Amino acid sequence: MTYLVTGGAGYIGAHVVRAMVRAGERVVVLDDLSTGLRQRLPSDVPLVEASVLDRAALDRVIAEHGVTGVVHLAAKKRVGESVEVPLRYYHENVHGLQVLLEAVVAGGVGAFVFSSSASVYGMPDGETVTEDTPCAPMSPYGETKLAGEWLVRATARAHGLRTTCLRYFNVAGAAAPELADTGVANLVPMAFERLADGAAPRIFGDDYPTPDGTCVRDYIHVADLADAHLAAARALASGQVRPGADLTVNIGRGEGVSVREMMDVVAEVTGREFTPEVTARRPGDPARVVARADRAARELGWTARRDVREMVASAWAGWPRRDPAPVA
């Protein structure tokens, strides 16, 4: 198999590429480098600098590299931003996926792993969510991920693709310092950025119906997430998923951690004492979303191995600004 990894120079994508290469898989990356970094990639992995909206580039890379499977990670992913600019999110995340799938079908590619999100669930009832929990996304970002799943499954049925949709929960950590998340779309780097500026990290709302009033999430180490992609790709390659069928799985730890609890871990790991600044809720944030990951263990033979402290410590080891001013 030769895999095309879209968005492979991004934070998550680079971890997926490294896991697949170390496992002996052949990989080519397509990334427009809008948020990705070329230096995250191994020197022997080909990089095509292009967007998934560029059909000609997709056709070329599939043909020239003999691509037989795709791992699709390229997408816009900020919940709050998606509320402000929904048209951009639908164009990039849904239309971009459509263009990619058209190239996949035309090129005879047989396997497709789709990067989805727990945001498809919205604000579910119950302590944990299964893959059968009704989906009711609360943001345009979540809507684009759910629409993406629909499009992937419909294409699989119509054209005989073997597909897997991975619903990520909250990603953190780094497998190596050079692969750390240097953006500020996720909670941990957002906290680090505030500390680096000499300010207290923010909590967006403390009046949710949770034990401490802050949002509760299921955090997954990015290295565990990368291993899940490898397991999914191999499940498709082995024929475990039949043509025209889809396997949808939650990728999480099954353990809820509140934002305030995560801030305590950040303070412990960084050695910086602070009292978080509580601000207004962000639009599109549900109170609690925690996975049931039984299906991933059963169908993919995958379970998360790393804990929250390891996530924060590994992220801090790769943070580029580690000498912040004292917190006010």
Residues known to be catalytic: 141
Q: What is d(CA 8, CA 25) in angstroms, rounded to the nearest whole number? A: 14
Q: What is d(CA 16, CA 215) in angstroms, rounded to the nearest whole number? A: 28
Side chain identity at 263, as an amino acid letter? Answer: M
Cα 70-74-75 angle, rounded to 5 deg: 135
Phi, psi for 87 (deg, rounded to 5): -60, -40
Q: Quickly list H helices, the chain.
A: 11-22, 55-65, 79-84, 86-89, 96-106, 140-159, 187-196, 222-237, 259-270, 294-295, 308-317
Asked if residues 190 and 196 have their Cβ atoms less than 8 Å apart, the reply is no
Asked if residues 178 and 253 have their Cβ atoms less than 8 Å apart, the reply is no
DSSP 218-241: EEEEHHHHHHHHHHHHHHHHTTSS
Q: What is d(CA 272, CA 194) in angstroms, rounded to the nearest whole number? A: 11
